[in-house]
Amino acid sequence: MAPDKRIKIKRPSIMTTKLPQLPDEVLCLIFLAVVQEEPRSPWKNTRAQAPWNVSAVCRVWRRVALDSARLWTRFQVGFGIGYPPRCKNKSEFCLSQRHTIRCMYQLQRSGSMPISVDMWDMQCQCMESMVRLLAGHVERWEVLRLRPTDSMSYDNLRDFTPSKIHFASLRHLEYECDAEQDICLGHHFDVSVLPSLTSFQIVRWDGTENKSVGSSLPKPREARFAWTRLTRVYLQDYRGHAGSILSFLKGSPVLASFRISAVRDCTRQMHPPVNVQDHPHDSIILAHLVHLDIEVNDEANTTGCFCPLSILPVIRTPGLSELVLTGLGMRYLYEPQPNADLSELVLRSQCLIRTLQLSISWGYPDDPEDANPYPSFLQQLTAVQSLRLTLPDEPYTPDDCAPVLRHMLRTEDTAAELFPNLQRLHLAQHRFDPCLLLQVIQSRNDRLWPKKGGNTQRLDTVEVDFRNAPLGSYGVKRVEDVVRHYAAVLETGLEICGMPEGFRLTFDPDKFVPFQRLTGEFGDQLASEEGEDE
């Protein structure tokens, strides 16, 4: 049986160009253009069309696409807000066959591999057909992204799928809250039908859960979500208060990775502080938590507004080894309370944080002489081996990281004040004096001071990243000029003074070692990690 002959894809004459005649670089760009996701698209709809785009290039790529089952594993139901249905409707009846037939072929071509399903809306009848087709393969669902709308509500989903659906293989669920900002999943996503769920991403949640009662069940009961089984959670644009987060953390005993980014709208809602009676200090022990990612900004320092750092006095994280603090305002981490909360968390938990990602500006821009050179809690992070420094997304942010680099120097008599065990340094978007960085590298070289300077590890890797740098702040037209300047000074200095054995300096993003973080494409991380394990 040759199912591909049933669909004819029209190709212009240019598609008959022989690919071997094109340079490899051009082929790579074409392939990335048709396969990679458009990062600015909020609906993630490009990747679902990737196999069809590849198949339309030429006969060779079509054959490659048909032989690549993993390429056909992403399904998209709906068009997204602001995108009208591109279907042929006659008398309110959809005559389009494209989406339904493509879904059939994708289910066949993906074989028995796990699939990823994006459910955005059901504005057209053909989307209902897609849901019914996909429901027949629910045992293969590994990632589900659900965005409730008027056309894609829990009631509609229940009508188009079996009443006793069982998500045997579903590992990641992404739920984007509607205007009510609560979670309303119903019995289709009860704890009894999610035996494999370990990853959950919630967008725009206010901290409440609508435990809907199943009126169609013989014995109506409240739906219970699988909170206790989750190991990785990302609360994106959180709109609730600290009490809801602490209640969730208390009921998640095996949580290993937790990320939260909060939305603070002080004109809309004033968030209550943490109730010490309900959540006493040091009362929640997250024994399995390894990765903690908190995003805050200056607005969080306004009285009455929720700040994710306010949960720190209540929790203890003895196994924490990766800490990410991003979106930090120019002043916030220099204040006494955030410094104390972070310092006490490290001391109380006796954790060894080995990887630190920090987005901060160093020192006060209006009074640099009296400003602290760095937040005092950094002195507690003596076990850090990998450090990534980036800039906050703020206007008028000082982008010179010299204040912190000065305190990473090791002298002949004393150890480095900051990060004595640092082995890898990644600087993103920062300006710096290349000679100062050269001194840091040389001072941590054991060949210069092998028996002096205290217990300071040698710095093995330095990565400098200017991909997203604001060009105006550098006074140059091209980032290449900045990179060329830094590279020339650093490489010349290392060549004259002697390059430390095994040391690596790179400005090439392709050679950077990636830092782990729970991203917006959290569900796709599961598939990539599974591929690496294989």
* pLDDT tens per residue, range 474-503: 545 567 788 888 999 999 998 888 777 788
Distances (CA, A) of 210 to 138, 159, 183, 186, 262: 24, 19, 6, 8, 21
> Looking at the predicted structure, is the pLDDT value of residue 519 above 70?
no
For residue range 259-304, what is the model confidence (pLDDT) as tens digits?
A: 998 865 543 444 556 666 678 888 999 999 999 999 875 554 444 5
The tally of CA atoms less than 13 A away on the side-chain side of residue 267 is 0
Tokens for 189, please give them: 């996503």
Tokens for 9, please give them: 């894809």
68-72, 134-138, 152-156, 322-326: the lowest-pLDDT one: 152-156
Alpha carbon dihedral 510, 514, 519, 523, in 10-degree steps, equals 90
Q: Distance from CA of residue 256 to its chain's centroid? A: 15
Report d(CA 92, CA 455) in Å as an integer: 75
Residues facing residue 293 across a β-bridge: 259, 324
For residue range 444-457, what is the model confidence (pLDDT) as tens digits?
A: 876 555 555 456 78
Tokens for 322, please give them: 């990766």
Note if the pTM is more than 0.75. yes
Confidence band of 18 (pLDDT split at 50, 70, 90): low
Give φ, ψ of 139 to 5 degrees.
-70, -15
Q: Distance from CA of residue 122 to its chain's centroid? A: 28
For residue range 104-148, what is the model confidence (pLDDT) as tens digits?
A: 989 998 999 999 998 877 666 677 888 888 888 888 999 998 887
pLDDT, greater one: 109 or 66: 109
Give φ, ψ of 93 to 5 degrees.
-125, 125
pLDDT, greater one: 80 or 350: 350
Confidence band of 531 (pLDDT split at 50, 70, 90): very low
Confidence band of 10 (pLDDT split at 50, 70, 90): very low
Cβ atoms of residues 183 and 205 within 8 Å: yes
Torsion sign over Cα 145, 148, 149, 151: positive
For residue range 364-407, what is the model confidence (pLDDT) as tens digits?
A: 444 444 456 678 888 899 999 999 998 776 555 556 788 888 88
30-34, 153-157, 215-219, 326-330: the lowest-pLDDT one: 215-219
Q: In a 10 Å sphere around its CB, with 0-12 CB exposed, 13-18 middle and 19+ buried, how is residue 144 labelled?
A: buried
For residue range 425-451, what is the model confidence (pLDDT) as tens digits?
A: 999 888 888 999 998 888 887 655 555
Report d(CA 48, CA 67) in Å as an integer: 17
Residues 6+ apart with CB under 8 A from 344: 312, 313
Report d(CA 97, CA 435) in Å as an integer: 65
Residues 6+ apart with CB under 8 A from 473: 399, 431
For residue range 28-64, what is the model confidence (pLDDT) as tens digits?
A: 666 666 665 544 444 444 566 677 777 777 777 777 7
Per-residue pLDDT at 450: 54
Among candidate residues 39, 202, 44, the one with its CA nearest the CA of residue 119: 44
Scanning 44-87, the segments in alpha helix (DSSP H) are 50-55, 59-66
Report d(CA 240, CA 272) in Å as an integer: 10
> Looking at the predicted structure, is the pLDDT value of residue 220 above 50?
no
